[in-house]
Structures are given as C-alpha cells and as structure tokens.
Amino acid sequence: MNIYIDNRQEKFDISEEINKHVKTAIIESLKVEGLKDNYEVSVSYVDNYEIKKLNREYRGIDRETDVLSFPFNEVVDIPVLILGDIIISVEKAYEQSIDYGHSLDREIVYLTVHSMFHLMGYDHLKDEEKEIMRNKEKRVMKNLKVFKSSS
C-alpha cells in the first residue's frame, strides 16, 4: 500500500496522529469494499482558496468545497494499482467540524472515507446510489471505532 500525504496549507497544524488516522481510513475503506491493499492513493491538504480554484477548473463550480476526488482511470502495467487523488480543504473541514460538533480529526477522516468511495466508483447523485455509498461510509467509520458514526 502506497499512501502519499502532502500538506499544501499553512492555516492548520496537521499532526502525525491525523495522518495515521487518514491512512487507517484508506485501508479500512478498501477492506469494506473487499479490495486488497495493493493500491496507491495520494492525499493533499489544501486551503479554501486552492480547493475553490480546483473546483472551478475541474468541475466548473466557482466555490470552495470540502473534498475533491480524482480517480485514476487508466490501466498501466505496474505492480501497484493507482486508485487516485484526494484533495481535502482543511479550512472547510474545520468549519464543518464546528458545525457538526466533532473534532477536525474526525471530519478529515470522514472526508477521506467519503472520497475513497468516490475513487472506487461510487456516487451520490441518485437516492439509491447515495444510500449504498452512505452505508459503506458508516460501516468504515464504525469499524474504525475511535470515531462516532457519521450521519
């Protein structure tokens, strides 16, 4: 398992504990999906300015968001399968952690889990797809035990 973490923001301290929880969440998401750990995932922490720029460029939406997922949809002949990139606005995650009444750590972990299921092909545009995706997210969060279940 190759997990790369890049902190490109300076507004919030990202502890090794948070990075450890993010890595555990990635591995648990793969387990819940029945996949092995022969994948590569990158996680980048950014601020609202950068995620807004990326959201505008790649989705045509000119506002910040909490997380963006960029699945790697190419087949390449390498021993590790590249799953994709997760971009998290730590600034937005902090705002949401206040709104939802839990820690920044828990919010970043939830956003990682949410994004992992996007990388694995799930979406939440239709109600039935949303229910499947949310149930998988809840299962991962429950399996992590450290965090209360997401809603």
User: Residues 17-34: what's their mean pLDDT?
Assistant: 97
- Domains of the chain, start order: 2-144 (3.40.390.30)
CB-count burial class (<10 Å; 0-12, 13-18, 19+) for 124: middle
- Band (pLDDT 50/70/90 cuts) for residue 83 is very high
Q: Is 114 annotated as a binding residue?
A: yes
* H helix count then E strand count, the chain: 5, 4
Distance CA 120, CA 90 (A): 23
111-146 pLDDT, tens digit per residue, is 999 999 999 999 988 889 999 999 999 999 999 986
Mind listing the pLDDT tens digit for each residue in 40-73?
999 999 999 999 999 999 999 999 999 999 999 7
Q: Tokens representing 58?
A: 């790649």
pLDDT given at position 79: 67
Average pLDDT over residues 9-32: 97
pLDDT at 150 over 50: no
Beta bridge partner(s), residue 7: 45
Helix locations, the chain, DSSP H = 16-32, 48-59, 90-100, 104-119, 127-144
Among residues 83, 102, 81, the alpha carbon closest in space to that of 93 is found at 102
Specify the pLDDT at position 81: 87
Residue 102 is labelled as binding a ligand: no
Query: End-to-end CA distance of the chain, in Å?
Result: 29
In this prediction, residues 103-115 reach a mean pLDDT of 97
Q: Which of 1, 76, 86 is nearest to 42 (CA)?
A: 86
Question: Is 124 annotated to bind ligand?
Answer: yes
